[in-house]
Amino acid sequence: MGSVDALVIGGGFFGCEIAVELRRLGFARVMLCEREAGLLRRASYVNQARVHNGYHYPRSLSTAERSRANFERFVADYGFAVRTDMVKLYAIAATSRVNAGQFASFCGKIGVLCREAPAALARLFDPDLIEAAFLTRELAFDAVALARSAAQRLADVHVDVRLGTPVRVEPIAAPARPVRVTLPSETIEAGLVVNCTYAALDDVGIPVKARLKRELAEMLLIPPPRDIADVGITVMDGPFFSTMPFPAAKLHSLSHVRYTPHEAWTEPGHGNALPTRSNAMAMLRDAARFLPVLAKVEPVRSIFEIKTVLLRNEDDDGRPILAETCVASPRILSVMGSKIDNIYDVLEMLRAHQWKESA
């Protein structure tokens, strides 16, 4: 039977970064297994590509402040994959849960740019439905560029990357012993297992205590009308929408608070997670009421993913990291980053972790 010092399950953004970090921390033989045919093909690709800077979280000051703290660092470290030549507007709907004054004062509190949008951009909105539009600083990342760089860095530090390799962790017989893991063609023992499978977190044979909420999410890809080719727009705060550059496909994404989620569930597993319909036209129709330039847009395609969040943050939209040591074995850690810029919080957690049980 083969063995490794550390096995990372899941080749999304977090699994890749964690595997590289484990090498830095001294784990000699690190293997990363991803069941898809390439890296960053699931949630790390199917998302709104927003490098958060706090604006999105007026109801969770702690998440807003963490995003604020990590934003510049992310842009500096992953600049090759961040679209910086874009403008970002936050527009406050007339029926928003926060009004324009409250939003501006929240931005002041977390120390982010929030200036009245220039008239040429403010004119994009229906004035009866939008109370105010603000110029802000928020950017979009390119998941394909992140995947390319991750593959290179994993190779540079000699992580053994296995694509097309679904993993199952076998029941824990003795907590102190290495963890036995089944791959399609072999069984191996791992001194440490880091479970970075996001939507499959409790579906790889590792029990997870935290309660998760899953939501089948539809993200629509559209060709941006010329007026917003370099503009991202988020309408706050309630059942509204965001359209952002989606650099990985050179299109814009469109998500809608009411129409992006198809169904949600809190019990473990995948539920009925295959899309049976598309809400594309409903998203576009509603968004075009606020932003009339969307009225003539022809959708390109929808992409779907199971969005996974901690149930305890359902009301405040907070997005802290999850890092949970398995009750059955100190050699198993489940990690969920929740949003891309949380990578720094995850790496900090790994550096502070007591590794003596597993190294």
Ligand X SMILES: Cc1cc2nc3c(=O)[nH]c(=O)nc-3n(C[C@H](O)[C@H](O)[C@H](O)COP(=O)(O)OP(=O)(O)OC[C@H]3O[C@@H](n4cnc5c(N)ncnc54)[C@H](O)[C@@H]3O)c2cc1C
State which residue, 12 or 320, has the beta carbon closest to ligand X.
Answer: 12
Rounded to whole angstroms, how far apart are CA atoms 157 and 257? 41
Phi/psi class of residue 271: alpha, beta or left (left: φ > 0; alpha: ψ in -120 to 50)? left
Q: Considering the complex, what minimum distance in angstroms separates the CB of residue 323 from ligand X?
A: 12
Q: In terms of Cα–Cα distance, which of 205, 79, 210, 56 is closest to 140?
A: 79
Q: Considering the complex, what minimum distance in angstroms separates the CB of residue 274 from ligand X?
A: 15
State which residue, 36 or 316, has the beta carbon closest to ligand X.
Answer: 36
Judge residue 288's burial from the number of C-beta atoms within 10 Å of its C-beta, 0-12 exposed, 13-18 middle, 19 or more buried: middle
State which residue, 14 or 240, has the beta carbon closest to ligand X.
Answer: 14
Alpha-carbon radius of gyration of the chain: 21
Q: Considering the complex, what minimum distance in angstroms separates the CB of residue 106 from ligand X?
A: 19
Q: Is 241 helix (H, G, I), strand (E, B) or coil?
A: strand
Q: Considering the complex, what minimum distance in angstroms separates the CB of residue 340 from ligand X?
A: 3
Q: Looking at this protein, which amino acid is placed at residue 145?
A: A
State which residue, 286 or 341, has the beta carbon closest to ligand X.
Answer: 341
State which residue, 252 or 307, has the beta carbon closest to ligand X.
Answer: 307
Q: Considering the complex, what minimum distance in angstroms separates the CB of residue 41 from ligand X?
A: 6
Q: In terms of Cα–Cα distance, which of 289, 321, 298, 294 is closest to 308?
A: 321
Judge residue 336's burial from the number of C-beta atoms within 10 Å of its C-beta, 0-12 exposed, 13-18 middle, 19 or more buried: buried
State which residue, 48 or 96, has the beta carbon closest to ligand X.
Answer: 48
Q: Which residue is nearest to ligand X (CB)?
A: 12
Residue 52 tokens, joined: 């958060």
Q: Considering the complex, what minimum distance in angstroms separates the CB of residue 92 from ligand X?
A: 20
The residues binding ligand X (CB under 6 A) are: 9-15, 33-36, 40-44, 46-50, 52, 166-167, 196-198, 200, 204, 217, 219, 305, 307, 336-341
State which residue, 123 or 209, has the beta carbon closest to ligand X.
Answer: 209
Q: Considering the complex, what minimum distance in angstroms separates the CB of residue 217 from ligand X?
A: 4
Residue 325 tokens, joined: 């040591």
Q: What is the DSSP letter of 298?
A: P
Judge if the upstream peptide bond of residue 237 is cis by omega within 30 degrees of 0: yes
